[in-house]
Amino acid sequence: MNLYLIRHGECLGQSDPTHYSNPDSPLSVLGEQQAVLTAKHLSRANLSYVISSPLIRALATARPIADLFNLPVLVWTDLREGFSDYHKGFSLKKLQTEFPTMQFSEEITEGGWHHGNDLYIDWEIRCKRVLEKLALLPRDSQVAMISHGGFGNYFLHSVLGLSFKQPIWFELANGSISHIRFVPNPKDERPDWPLYPPVNVEVYSINAIAHLGMF
């Protein structure tokens, strides 16, 4: 499986002071441009799945990618960002109205969904659940997964076997792509690997932004 971990484009919560306190702000004009450029960069990836956080900025980043491949967007709440307080996400009706082609998980109801106040153990549990769900997909899947700076950082910790409490932070820019390959049977696939023992996870890039050009 090839996994393209993508951080959402710039949102108004980053660029407009009037939105700083909004945990679910939409993309800025620049963020929309970043989403389109990211989709174009992935045009040769032959994606089979597009998966996204339910936060608006992630869904809006996922939309041009899914449209390019004529794929639905699978919305997983575990991909959300973490916050220092509790927040209530938009209702299922509102999300379906704005993003009608997306497939929302059952945690998102007409009453909305709750998120926030994550501890290290919460991040760890969420990352584990996401990895377990990815493992259920076909081995040859090509997956674009749109999330956030915080979740993306801890997901990379989980993939690389790093403690979540280690003082290591992967700085993921808006619109960046981190390319990870999961190898189900490394010894069978590369029995004569010359340099070091074959591994189950290969990280090709972290925070790749060349496709964004001047942005």
Contact 74, 130 (CB under 8 A): no
In contact, 181 and 201? CB cutoff 8 Å = yes
Q: Tell me the two tokens of residue 24.
A: 């679910």
The DSSP letter of residue 23 is T
- Residue 215 in this model has a pLDDT that exceeds 60: no
At residue 86, does pLDDT exceed 70?
no
Whether the pLDDT of residue 117 is over 80: the answer is no
Residue length of the chain: 215
Q: Give the per-residue pLDDT at 190.
A: 74
| Burial status of residue 147 (CB atoms within 10 A of its CB: 0-12, 13-18, 19 or more) | buried
Reduced to 3 states (helix: H, G, I; strand: E, B; else coil), residue 102 is strand
- Res 84: pLDDT: 56
CATH topology of domain 2-212: Rossmann fold (3.40.50)
Q: What is the pLDDT of residue 214?
A: 62
Task: Please state, in angstroms and rounded to a whole number, the distance separating the CA atoms of residues 70 and 132.
Answer: 25
- The whole-number pLDDT of residue 83 equals 65
Does 212 have pLDDT greater than 70? yes
Q: Is the dihedral of CA 21, 24, 28, 31 positive or negative?
A: positive
Calpha distance 6→146 (Å, rounded): 5
Does residue 155 contact residue 127 with C-beta atoms inside 8 Å?
A: yes
